[in-house]
């Protein structure tokens, strides 16, 4: 005998179904209120999110934000009310699939019109602060890169000093006659001193840039410290963003100034001019042999000069080939945009914002499963098997009332029929 044919199994199924119906009846007393509270809470956070997007704080903007949040609350309440009533009641697979698709589309619409604004209200300030912190990191990288490049350019001062020193040493050798063989301060000496003097001027110019580079870097670090403080300072983030933007403009100007303080291009041009712009003095030897020795020495000096110039130019080009500081620009951003841009960092806030809107979907599935269990428990049972004692008493009372009504109708009809007249014989 199958469970459907077993009276005891049918009785257990009916009791199970009645128990579930009792629970549903009790839960139904406050389900609508709970759904309304969720819808209102979502509407409040939606209002806060919409308010953060509106630039104007006038009465019309406030009214628009309130109207939008009320529309969201009503839409959420009506949509989930439909789902809570209809989805558990349908039985066909096609109907279930259709309502499931409608619920999916509705959930996407709710996320689009409400959840991201709820997330903006929950984590908007933190997301803007995250944007400020990331901007500070970008500016720090740019400042350090510019400072590194400027220091590398300042390091060319040592290369210039080394070349200058080599020419000064050669001039001293020429003065004692150890270079061309002619002691004194003749033509060769003057050429060497000419280039040493040019390099000395370049060295002085490079040295004068060092305090400027250090001052700009120190000021840039001070601005960065202030920008970091603004990211975590108490108070509305909008007001802090205004000062942050001002500091960012100052820092960008300092980074540009530091890039311009680099002397690498100046050293490269000076190296090119070092061998190209040689003012050859008149040979002052007394004899042709002496002047020939001077000319040969000057030629050798020019070759050495060309080699030193190439070495110096390569050093300057190596500095210029260093990666340029990344272009960093601070762009103010709204809390809603910041939440979307840094969504990966605010997963809990996004989860809470979506859950408050889509939590009724869980209730829909719970009701659908419970209704299926109730139908399964009542399957195969007759109507009289599913009657409760109260329903049976009510049915008996109705039957008695119907019986009394039928007797009364019969009596009325009998009284309305006239009795037949007696015959004369009687």
| C-alpha angle 59-61-64 in degrees, rounded to nearest 5 | 110
Cβ pair 227, 244 in contact under 8 A = yes
Nearest CA among 227, 423, 399 for reference residue 328:
227
Residue-level pLDDT, tens digit, the chain, 426 residues: 444 456 666 666 667 677 777 778 888 888 889 999 999 998 898 888 888 777 666 777 788 888 989 999 999 999 999 998 888 888 888 888 999 999 999 999 998 888 888 888 888 888 888 889 899 999 888 888 888 888 888 887 787 788 778 777 777 766 666 555 555 556 666 767 777 787 788 788 888 888 888 888 899 899 999 999 988 888 788 888 888 889 999 988 888 888 888 878 877 787 777 665 554 455 555 556 555 655 666 666 667 667 777 777 788 778 878 777 778 888 888 887 888 888 888 888 888 888 889 989 999 999 888 888 877 766 655 555 555 666 667 777 777 777 777 776 676 666 665 655 554 444
Q: How far is CA 358 from CA 27, 70, 103, 195, 352, in A?
A: 19, 17, 10, 81, 10
Class of 131-334 per CATH?
mainly alpha
User: What is the end-to-end Cα distance of the chain in Å, rounded?
Assistant: 71
- Classified as helix, coil or strand, 417 is coil
Q: Where in the chain is the domain with CATH 1.20.1260?
A: 131-334
Round to whole Å and give the CA distance between 25 and 9: 24
Reduced to 3 states (helix: H, G, I; strand: E, B; else coil), residue 91 is coil
pTM over 0.85: no
What is the rounded distance in angstroms from the CA atom of residue 79 to the CA atom of residue 81? Answer: 5
Determine the distance from the C-alpha atom of residue 223 to the mean position of all C-alpha atoms in its chain, rounded to a whole number: 24
CA distance 135 to 128: 11
Q: Is 177 helix (H, G, I), strand (E, B) or coil?
A: coil
From the list 121, 114, 123, the residue with the least C-alpha distance to 70 is 114
Task: Work out the number of other CB atoms within 10 angstroms of the CB of residue 144.
Answer: 16
How far is Cα of residue 117 from the mean position of the Cα atoms in its chain? 14
């Amino acid at each position: 005998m199958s469970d459907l044919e077993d009276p005891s199994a049918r009785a257990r199924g009916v009791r199970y179904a009645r128990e579930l119906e009792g629970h549903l009846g009790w839960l139904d007393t406050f389900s609508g209120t709970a759904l309304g509270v969720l819808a209102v809470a979502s509407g409040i956070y939606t209002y806060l999110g919409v308010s953060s997007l509106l630039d104007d704080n006038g009465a019309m903007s406030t009214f628009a934000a309130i109207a939008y949040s009320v529309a969201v609350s009503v839409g959420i309440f009506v949509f989930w009310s439909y789902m809570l009533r209809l989805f558990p009641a349908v039985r066909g697979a096609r109907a279930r699939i259709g309502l499931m698709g409608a619920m999916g589309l509705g959930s996407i619409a709710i996320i689009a019109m409400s959840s991201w604004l709820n997330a903006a209200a929950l984590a908007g300030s933190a997301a803007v602060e995250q944007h400020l912190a990331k901007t500070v990191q970008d500016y720090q990288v740019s400042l350090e890169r510019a400072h590194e490049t400027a220091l590398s350019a300042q390091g060319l001062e040592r290369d210039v000093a080394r070349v200058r020193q080599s020419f000064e040493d050669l001039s001293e050798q020429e003065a004692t006659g150890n270079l061309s063989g002619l002691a004194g301060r003749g033509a060769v000496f003057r050429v060497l001193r000419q280039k040493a003097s040019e390099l000395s001027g370049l060295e002085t110019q490079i040295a004068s840039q060092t305090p400027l580079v250090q001052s700009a870097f120190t000021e840039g670090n001070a601005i960065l410290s202030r920008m970091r403080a603004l990211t975590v300072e108490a108070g509305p983030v909008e007001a802090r963003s205004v000062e942050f933007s001002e500091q960012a403009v100052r820092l960008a100007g300092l980074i540009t100034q530091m890039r311009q303080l680099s002397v690498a291009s100046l050293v490269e041009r000076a190296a090119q001019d070092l061998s190209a712009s040689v003012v050859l003095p008149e040979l002052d030897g007394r004899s042709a042999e002496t002047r020939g020795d001077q000319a040969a020495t000057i030629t050798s000096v020019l070759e050495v000069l060309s080699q030193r110039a190439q070495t110096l130019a390569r050093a300057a080009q190596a500095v210029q080939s260093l990666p340029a500081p990344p272009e960093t620009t601070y762009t103010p951003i709204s809390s809603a945009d910041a939440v979307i841009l840094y969504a990966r960092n605010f997963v809990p806030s996004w989860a809470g914002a979506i859950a408050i809107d889509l939590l009724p979907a869980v209730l829909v599935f719970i009701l659908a499963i419970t209704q299926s269990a109730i139908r399964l428990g009542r399957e195969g049972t007759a109507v009289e098997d599913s009657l409760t004692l109260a329903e049976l008493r009510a049915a008996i009372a109705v039957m008695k009332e119907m019986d009394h009504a039928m007797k009364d109708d019969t009596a009325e009809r009998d009284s309305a029929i006239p009795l037949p007249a007696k015959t004369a014989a009687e």
